[in-house]
Amino acid sequence: MPETVTQPERDLVRAEDAADRPLEQHPTVRALREEMPDAVGRLERDAEGTPVVFVDPDRNLEVFRFLKDDPEQDYDLLKDVMGVDLGGGRPIQVWYQLWSMEHGRELRVTCEVPREDLTLQSVYPLWRTANWLEREVYDMFGVHFEGHPDLRRILMPENYEEGFPLRKDFPLRGRFSRSEQVRRALSRDLEDVYSREELELAGVAEGEAGPDDAMVREVSYQEGLEDAAERDGLQGEPMLVNLGPQHPATHGVLRLVLELDGETVVRCIPHIGYLHTGFEKTCEYREWNQVVPYTDRMDYLAPMLYNIGYAGAVESLLDVEITPRCRVIRVILSELNRILGHLLWLGTTAMDIGALSVFLYTFQERERIYNLHEAYTGARITTSVTRIGGMMADLPTGWTEGVREFVNTFPRTLDEVEELLSANAIWLGRTQEVGTISAEDAVNYGLTGPNLRASGVPYDVRKADPYLGYEDYDFDVPVGSHGDIYDRYMVRLEEMRQSTRILKQALDRLPDGPINVDDRRVVLPDKSDAMGDIDSMISHFKLVMEGLTVPPGETWHSIEASKGELGFGIVSDGAQKPVRCRFRAPSFINLQTLPFLVEGEMVSDVIAINASLDIVLGEIDR
C-alpha cells in the first residue's frame, strides 16, 4: 500500500508572496536583485498572481543556476518552457515556469529574445525537462538554445522547411501550397523518412550512402566475421528495432527506435509528432469559447479536465469568479474524469503486461462514466462541457443520482482488479524494480502527477496550489516509495479511491443556484430574456457577433489532470482571440523520461514502462 501524506502547511511561506504585496518584497525577487542586479529587468504579476521576472536573455543560465542551486530559492521543478510571439516585430518571449517543492513557490522567468539574435543558453544542464521543451520552442519559434545536446525539430518533421509555425508571420495553413506539401510528404528521400540518429545507428552517416542501399546493408559472411572479430569476439552487432508508429502497445502513433543487444535495450529514441495538428496555432485563430472543443481532443481519455482547465485559465484572465454551483460541478466532473483516465491506464497497462481481462473490467466502469457524459453533454468523448464563466448547461435531472450510484458501486471493480493483480507473483515480477526513477530524478525530469508521486514526492496541484476550492475537500495524496511500475499502479488505484471520496463530498455539498456567472460581458443571456428585453438582446447580439473580449494580460494556470500537471499558458491582447494558447501537456513531459527509464531494461519492459507512464498521444503531439 502506498502511504498517504497530507501536504505540509504552506501558509507561512505563502504570506510572503501573497498577491497583494509589492513584488519587490518577494523573497526570490529580492535575492535576485541583490545577487545579479543587472540581469533582472522589469517585474510583473500575471493574472494568477504569479510573479514574472524579466531576465536578460544573455544571462539566463546564470540566473537559473542561482534559482535552482540557492537553497533559499530551490526551484527544482521546471514546469514549462514556452515561447510567445506577440507579433509586430516585438522580441520573442520565452517563459520558464518554475516551482519550488521546498518552498511551494511559483515563479515565472521571461526572457525577451530579440529577433535578430534568437539565441538563449540551454537550461538542460540544470533540468532534464528542458530537453524536449526547448526543442519544442526551437521547433515552433526558431529560438536556438546553445548547449542543448540534441536541438532538432520535435513535433514538425525534421526536414520541415516552411519555417516556424507558431510565429505570428506564419500563416495558419503553412507557407507551401497544398500540392507542394503533399509532394514533400510523399517524397521518398531517405532523410525524410528516417531521423539523423537512426541513420547514424544504421551505419549511414550523412551523405555517405544513397537512399537505396542505406537501410538494408547487405553484409557478406566474411565481412560479418571480420566485423565480429573487430568487435571483440562474440560481441555481435546491435539490432535496430522500430517499435511503432503502428504497434499494438504504443497507445497511439508513437515511434520508438530501439537499439537492442539481444533483448536488452541499449538505446531508445522516441519519435513523436505523427499526430501533430497544430492545436496551439489554430487556437490563435478562434474565439475564446471556440477553443473549448479543441481542448477535449487533446486528452480524449479524460476530456473534461482539459475543458475545465482551459475555462479556469481564461476566467483568471477575465477575473470573474464562477458560481458556487459551477465550482462544485467542475470538481465532480474533474474527479469523474480522473477516474476515467486512471481506469483506462489500469486496463491498458494490465493488457500490455498480458492480463487481458482487466481491460474489459475497467472498460465496463468507463462505459458508465461515458454514459454520464452522454447524459450531460450529449457527447461521450468530445464533451466540450465548459464555457467561459460557467458550463454549457445545468446538470440534467437525476444526473447526480447517477453519479452517486457510480461512486458507490465502482470501487468494487477496483477491489476485483486488486485481487487479480496486486499480489500476483508474475505481476510483481513484471512491475517491481522495473522502470525505477528516484525522487530527485523524477523532479529533474519534470515528471508530474501519479508518476512523480510514485517516486515519493507528494506534489499534487490540488494541494499545492488549490483551484476550484479543492482546499475545502478532505482527501489524501497517495505517495509511493520506489518509483517503479508497481508503485505507479498502487498510487493510481489509491487516487481513484480518493477521487470517490472527493466525489461523495462534492455531491453532498452541491448547492443550488445559477450555473453561469451573472456577467453579460462573458455569458450569453437567457434566450427568453434576449427575446424579451433590449439590454439582454444587445449583449446577446454582441457576444454572438463579436465574441467575448478578454482584457490584456497573461496567465499560466494549471490543474491536476489525470496524467500530471496540466498547464495553460495564455496571453491576451484584449481582443476576441488569444494571442498565444499554450498547453503544457503532462504526457509530453512524462514521455521524455522514457529513454532514461528503459535503457538497460528488456524489450518487454519497454512496453510495460511506456504503459506505466500513462501517455496519450493526442496531447503529446497536439
**Min. distance of Cβ 250 from another protein in angstroms?**
10
Applying CB under 8 A, among 8, 262, 511, 551 the residue interacting with another protein is: 262
Counting contacts by CB under 8 A, is residue 282 touching another protein? no
Applying CB under 8 A, among 198, 296, 601, 619 the residue interacting with another protein is: 601
| Partners of 105 in beta bridges | 100
Nearest of 424, 415, 455 to residue 439 by alpha carbon: 455
**Min. distance of Cβ 290 from another protein in angstroms?**
39
What CA–CA distances, in Å, run from 541 to 279, 284, 291, 528, 544? 28, 23, 20, 14, 5
- Grid cell 529580492 is found at 30
**Min. distance of Cβ 461 from another protein in angstroms?**
30
Counting contacts by CB under 8 A, is residue 488 touching another protein? no
**In this structure, what C-alpha cell is assigned to residue 472?**
475545502
What CA–CA distance (Å, rounded) separates 602 from 477?
Answer: 32
Q: How far is CA 397 from the centre of its chain?
A: 34
**Min. distance of Cβ 349 from another protein in angstroms?**
10
CB nearer another protein, residue 225 or residue 428? 428
CB nearer another protein, residue 411 or residue 466? 411
CB nearer another protein, residue 385 or residue 447? 447
| Window contacting another protein (CB under 8 A); options: 152-160, 181-189, 356-364, 586-594 | 356-364
CB nearer another protein, residue 249 or residue 491? 249
| Window contacting another protein (CB under 8 A); options: 85-93, 94-102, 140-148, 258-266 | 258-266
What CA–CA distance (Å, rounded) separates 249 from 507?
Answer: 37
**In this structure, what C-alpha cell is assigned to residue 480?**
509511493
**In this structure, what C-alpha cell is assigned to residue 291?**
477553443
**245 contacts 185 by C-beta, under 8 angstroms:** no
Q: Site residues for another protein, window 409-468 (CB under 8 A)?
A: 420-421, 423-430, 432-433, 436
CB nearer another protein, residue 66 or residue 427? 427
Q: Site residues for another protein, window 228-257 (CB under 8 A)?
A: 230-232, 235, 237-239, 241-242, 247-249
What CA–CA distance (Å, rounded) separates 142 from 117?
Answer: 10
CB nearer another protein, residue 34 or residue 230? 230
Amino acid sitting at position 120: L
- Helical spans, DSSP H, in 422-572: 425-431, 439-444, 450-454, 461-464, 485-509, 527-532, 534-546
CB nearer another protein, residue 262 or residue 513? 262
**Min. distance of Cβ 585 from another protein in angstroms?**
24
Number of residues forming the site for another protein (CB under 8 A): 53
Is cis: bond before 27, omega within 30 of 0? Answer: no
What CA–CA distance (Å, rounded) separates 481 from 438?
Answer: 9
Counting contacts by CB under 8 A, is residue 356 touching another protein? yes
What CA–CA distance (Å, rounded) separates 567 from 580?
Answer: 13
Angle at 363 between CA 491 and CA 614, to 5 degrees: 40
**Min. distance of Cβ 240 from another protein in angstroms?**
8
- Grid cell 480518493 is found at 498
Q: Binding marks (x or -) toward another protein, 502..531, rule CB under 8 A?
A: ------------------------------
What CA–CA distance (Å, rounded) separates 150 from 376?
Answer: 46
**Min. distance of Cβ 353 from another protein in angstroms?**
4
Applying CB under 8 A, among 607, 609, 615, 620 the residue interacting with another protein is: 607
| Partners of 242 in beta bridges | 257
**333 contacts 391 by C-beta, under 8 angstroms:** no
**267 contacts 595 by C-beta, under 8 angstroms:** yes
**Min. distance of Cβ 259 from another protein in angstroms?**
8
Nearest of 465, 479, 140 to residue 309 by alpha carbon: 465
User: Which class for 91: exposed (0-12), middle (13-18), buried (19 or more C-beta within 10 A)?
Assistant: middle
CB nearer another protein, residue 55 or residue 353? 353
**Min. distance of Cβ 148 from another protein in angstroms?**
20
CB nearer another protein, residue 93 or residue 436? 436
**Min. distance of Cβ 482 from another protein in angstroms?**
7
- Grid cell 483516465 is found at 341
Counting contacts by CB under 8 A, is residue 173 touching another protein? no
| Window contacting another protein (CB under 8 A); options: 58-66, 86-94, 163-171, 597-605 | 597-605
**Min. distance of Cβ 302 from another protein in angstroms?**
22
Counting contacts by CB under 8 A, is residue 224 touching another protein? no
- Grid cell 526543442 is found at 135
CB nearer another protein, residue 179 or residue 220? 220
Counting contacts by CB under 8 A, is residue 351 touching another protein? yes
Pairing assessment for the beta strands 144-146 and 119-121 based on DSSP bridges: parallel
CB nearer another protein, residue 182 or residue 229? 229
CB nearer another protein, residue 554 or residue 601? 601
Q: Site residues for another protein, window 50-89 (CB under 8 A)?
A: none
What CA–CA distances, in Å, run from 166 to 125, 249, 285? 26, 32, 12
Which DSSP state fits 210? -
Counting contacts by CB under 8 A, is residue 604 touching another protein? yes
**Min. distance of Cβ 227 from another protein in angstroms?**
9
CB nearer another protein, residue 605 or residue 614? 605
DSSP string, 298-349: TSTTSHHHHHHHHHHHHHHHHT-PPPHHHHHHHHHHHHHHHHHHHHHHHHHH
**Min. distance of Cβ 3 from another protein in angstroms?**
16
**Min. distance of Cβ 262 from another protein in angstroms?**
7
Applying CB under 8 A, among 286, 368, 387, 482 the residue interacting with another protein is: 482
Applying CB under 8 A, among 7, 181, 264, 282 the residue interacting with another protein is: 264
With residues binned 3-state (H G I as helix, E B as strand, rest as coil), the percentages for the chain, rounded to 5, are 45, 15, 40
- Grid cell 459551477 is found at 326
Which DSSP state fits 75? -
**Min. distance of Cβ 221 from another protein in angstroms?**
16
Counting contacts by CB under 8 A, is residue 357 touching another protein? yes
List interacting residues with another protein (CB under 8 A): 230-232, 235, 237-239, 241-242, 247-249, 259, 261-264, 266-267, 350-357, 360-361, 364, 420-421, 423-430, 432-433, 436, 482, 599-607
